Structure 1
Amino acid sequence: MKFKSSKVNEFRLWGLLLTMGGMLLMIVGLAGIVFNWGTAGKIMAGIFMVIGAIAMLASMAVYFWAGMMSTSTTVIECPECGKPTKMLGKTDRCMFCKTILSLDPKHDPNANA
């Protein structure tokens, strides 16, 4: 559980992974042209470029979605670190210290009852 982060940061992580994966696919596809693999290399480059571009567009959509959700989140102050953090849903984690937060007492994991 120590690798968990807030929901907004999880969406941003997926956007970053799609961006890096798309660029990696485009670079791998470029090897077919750089190393002069003939017609097969050009076809491979085209296919990998298209798949990489689709991954980049998907990352743009994920970043846009995370940004739109981020504008409508509830900003609360973390009881552990005292920093303002954004909260999505009924429970979330602090963006800084990863403490589990909840606005609803029945969903609060730190409650004694």
Structure 2
Amino acid sequence: MNVNRWRNLALVFLFAGFFVMYLGVYSKRLLPYLTIAGGIGVLAGILLYFRFGPVNPSIRTIQCPRCGRDTRPTGQYDACAHCGLPLQRTPSGTYEPYVK
């Protein structure tokens, strides 16, 4: 999965966790449970950011064959962060478009 997708998922976890905790304001009976559930969501988002945040600067930048913009693929199969073109790493270490 593309690093940007993981970061977006982490952001969703953070906002969803805060939203769930905020719902506890309206129900005194559910407040402890919603606080715990929201805290788990926030913690999941933070852990994802810690895992995938520092990965991006250490990755080599390539130029996308379709849109010509710079992107940083992370694995054997990845996609351009801008146009979504699937890319596959060749044995020589370069990336080329991948057709399933």
When normalised by structure 1's length, the TM-score is 0.73
Instruction: Determine which of 5, 8, 28 is the counterpart of 2:3.
Output: 8
Alignment: residue pair count: 95
1:74-98 per-residue CA deviation (whole Å, 9 max, x = no partner) reads 2111011111101111121100011
Alpha-carbon distance in 2 for matches of 1:80, 1:20: 34
Indicate the residue corresponding to 2:98 in structure 1.
109
Structure 1 position 108, deviation (Å): 5.0
Q: Work out which of the two has the higher radius of gyration on C-alpha atoms and give 1 or 2.
A: 1
* Partner SS for 1:54: helix
Contact 2:10 2:48 in 1 (8 A): yes
State the match for 1:44 in structure 2: 30
Tell me whether 1:27 sits opposite 2:22 in the alignment: yes
8 Å contact kept, 1:91–1:108 = no
Q: 2:6 corresponds to which letter in structure 1?
A: F
Aligned to 1:88: 74
Alignment partner, residue 3 of structure 1: none
Q: Which has the higher contact order (CA 8 A, sep 6+)?
A: 1
Question: Where does structure 2 lack aligned partners over 5 or more consecutive residues?
Answer: none
Partner of 1:17: 12
d(CA) in 1 for partners of 2:39 and 2:63? 39
Q: Distance in 2 between matches of 1:109 and 1:47?
A: 46
